[in-house]
């Protein structure tokens, strides 16, 4: 019987992640749990469809953790728990039921269940618990494994250590994807202390105000609009003293009866707070919960520091560039409208071609700033109504290299500076400033060349009147493989 529904090792090898036995008479639930475990690299995983089968597997293959449904034919989850505890009381067992009652959960926990989950459950929540219990299990020494674990304090300590190692690992993995850091921190905090609501608020010292960065709550509207604003004085105190706050009101009339507020610091300056609230039948946050949240914010501080510095540096650089661009616009109104239209056309063309999102972001910046180098072109040339002399034209040509020079010192804009340098290159190699040809010219620069030329042709300039759209299209088509890349002209004509 056991071998028929055997261990699913599939492509996974026996690892030291811990062995899990999943027991449920409902095959779809069982499969969902097993797939999620294996996706999280937890293996090997054993499965059984009832208590009797599970017991048989357990006797032949000792497991580190059992996840079991309660209501099953043959032997129930509670009976299975009783039998397992007789064999090895140190085993963690998570019970799942579709019919939760307080009596049932209390008796399950008393019998020795590590945890109790009600259906329908969130698979991430289950994975989080599995992760913690497996870590806890690994931390136990062999001596302890032999003994019955009857010391609650020891168990508590172990659970604390495993939570801390979980925080450490999670933060390490969060660090890889910088964008999500705030959201991930909030999710992690909610799980760690079983909070009801959590928010990260950034402190705007100039206006003495808190700006919500991320807010997650099961009572979202009320939390965002009523509860958070009412707690501003608490947040202010946490930021001012740079100390965490744990507040329990012991009352049932307040909207929040328990609150944690931890300041977020960069180089000993508090720049915001992470706060968690709960009102659940008198269950309050403890000092230990506060410690977990502090561990989390401390671990994440370097990560946050990078993120905040990146955001503020990036936005201040963009401000500088846009103000430079504005100074050309003040002299030549055409440039501003032109940059907006060119960016819009370039982005739409890029989407038709199907270029990656990060290249589109780059095109947005390059599009807005492509003529920034014209800042060095004197008014008498930039605004000249008659034809330009050769010397004057070479001054105009210099705007590509000047544009590149303006952006180049900022490493963040390396890609954009190359696009700007090459936006007047030609497919046949007869453009400027470098005479690049074909695919030597960056793709985004080739896109800009097409839409830039089209926009210039279809708008009035000081030295000539606008062409009609049809004429400009003919001009583009005539210059395919000479000035323009054919693929881009075709994509551009699709959006027109």
Q: Which residues bind Fe ion (CB under 5 A)?
A: 371
Cis peptide before 120 (omega within 30 of 0): yes
* Smaller CB separation from Fe ion, 359 or 371: 371
Structural contact between residues 234 and 209, judged by C-beta atoms closer than 8 angstroms: no
CA contacts within 13 A on the Cβ side of 299: 24
Cβ closer to Fe ion: 66 or 328?
328
SS3 assignment, position 481: coil
CA distance 444 to 62: 59
Cβ 451 to Fe ion shortest distance, Å: 11
Q: Write the secondary structure of 135-167 as one string of H (helix), E (strand) and C (coil).
A: HHHHHCCHHHHHCCCCCHHHHHHHHHHHHHHHH
CB closer to Fe ion out of 155 and 397: 397
The 10 Å Cβ neighbour count of residue 460 is 9
Distance, CA of 332 to CA of 1 (rounded, Å) = 84
First-to-last alpha carbon distance for the chain, in angstroms, is: 67
CB nearer Fe ion, residue 85 or residue 456: 456
CB of 367 to Fe ion, least distance (A): 11
CB of 481 to Fe ion, least distance (A): 21
Q: How far is the CB of 385 from Fe ion (least distance, A)?
A: 19
Q: Give phi and psi for 272, each to the nearest 5.
A: 175, -170
Please report how close the Cβ of residue 452 comes to Fe ion at its closest, in angstroms: 6
* Least Cβ distance, residue 336 to Fe ion (angstroms): 14
To Fe ion, the closest distance from the beta carbon of 328 in angstroms equals: 11
Give the span between the Cα atoms of 449 and 185, in whole angstroms.
Answer: 43
Q: Which residue is listed with tokens 């907006």?
A: 340
- CB nearer Fe ion, residue 235 or residue 321: 321
Q: Which CB atom, from 136 or from 371, has the smaller least distance to Fe ion?
A: 371
Q: Which is nearer to Fe ion, 5 or 364 (CB)?
A: 364
For residue 262, give the 3-state DSSP assignment.
strand
Q: In the bound complex, what is the minimum distance in angstroms from residue 441's beta carbon to Fe ion?
A: 14
Minimum CB separation of residue 424 from Fe ion in Å reads 6
Torsion angle, alpha carbons of 100, 103, 104, 107, to 10: 150
Q: What is the 3-state secondary structure (H, E, C) of 15-37?
A: CCCCCEEEECCCHHHHHHHHHHH
Cβ atoms 428, 483 nearer than 8 A: yes
Q: Which is nearer to Fe ion, 289 or 455 (CB)?
A: 455
Q: How far is CA 402 from CA 338, 362, 417, in A?
A: 19, 19, 10
Considering beta carbons, is residue 203 or 427 the nearer one to Fe ion? 427
CA distance 280 to 256: 9
Shortest Cβ contact with Fe ion: which residue? 371
């Amino acid at each position: 019987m056991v071998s028929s529904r055997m261990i699913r090792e599939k492509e996974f090898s026996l690892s030291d992640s811990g062995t899990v036995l999943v027991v449920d008479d409902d095959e779809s639930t069982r499969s969902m749990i097993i797939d999620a475990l294996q996706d999280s690299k937890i293996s090997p995983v054993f499965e059984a469809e009832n208590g009797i089968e599970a017991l048989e597997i357990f006797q032949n293959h000792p497991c580190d953790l059992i996840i079991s449904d309660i209501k099953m034919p043959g032997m129930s989850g509670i009976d299975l728990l009783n039998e397992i505890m007789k064999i090895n009381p140190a085993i963690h067992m998570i019970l799942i039921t579709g019919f939760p009652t307080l009596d049932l959960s209390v008796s399950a926990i008393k019998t020795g269940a590590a945890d109790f989950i009600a259906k329908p459950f969130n698979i991430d929540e289950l994975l989080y618990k599995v992760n913690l219990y497996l870590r806890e299990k690994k931390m136990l020494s062999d001596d302890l494994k032999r003994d019955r674990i009857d010391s609650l304090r020891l168990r508590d300590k172990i659970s604390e250590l495993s939570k801390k190692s979980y925080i450490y690992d999670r933060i390490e993995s969060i660090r890889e994807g910088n964008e999500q850091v705030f959201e991930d921190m909030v999710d992690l905090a909610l799980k760690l202390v079983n909070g009801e609501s959590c928010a990260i608020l950034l402190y705007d010292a100039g206006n003495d105000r808190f700006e919500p960065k991320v807010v997650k709550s099961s009572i979202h509207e009320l939390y965002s609009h009523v509860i958070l604003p009412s707690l501003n004085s608490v947040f202010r105190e946490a930021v001012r003293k740079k100390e965490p706050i744990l507040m329990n009101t012991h009352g049932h009339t307040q909207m929040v009866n328990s609150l944690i507020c931890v300041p977020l610091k960069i180089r000993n300056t508090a720049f915001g707070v992470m706060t968690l609230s709960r009102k659940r039948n008198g269950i309050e946050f403890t000092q230990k919960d506060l410690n977990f949240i502090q561990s989390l914010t401390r671990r994440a501080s370097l990560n946050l520091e990078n993120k905040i510095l990146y955001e503020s540096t990036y936005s201040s650089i963009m401000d500088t560039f846009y103000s430079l661009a504005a100074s050309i616009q003040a002299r030549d109104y055409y440039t501003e409208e032109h940059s907006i239209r060119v960016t819009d056309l370039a982005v739409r063309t890029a989407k038709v071609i199907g270029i990656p999102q990060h290249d589109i972001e780059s095109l947005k910046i390059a599009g807005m700033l492509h003529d920034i180098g014209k800042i060095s072109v004197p008014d008498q040339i930039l605004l000249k109504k008659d034809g330009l002399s050769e010397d004057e034209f070479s001054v105009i040509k210099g705007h590509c290299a000047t544009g590149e020079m303006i952006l180049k010192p900022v490493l963040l804009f390396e890609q954009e500076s190359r696009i700007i340098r090459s936006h007047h290159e030609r497919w046949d190699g007869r453009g400027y400033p470098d005479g690049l040809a074909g695919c030597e010219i960056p793709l985004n620069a080739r896109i800009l060349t097409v839409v830039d030329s089209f926009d210039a042709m279809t708008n009035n300039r000081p030295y000539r009147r606008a062409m009609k759209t049809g004429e400009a299209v003919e001009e583009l088509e005539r210059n395919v493989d000479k000035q323009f890349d054919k693929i881009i002209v075709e994509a551009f004509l699709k959006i027109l």
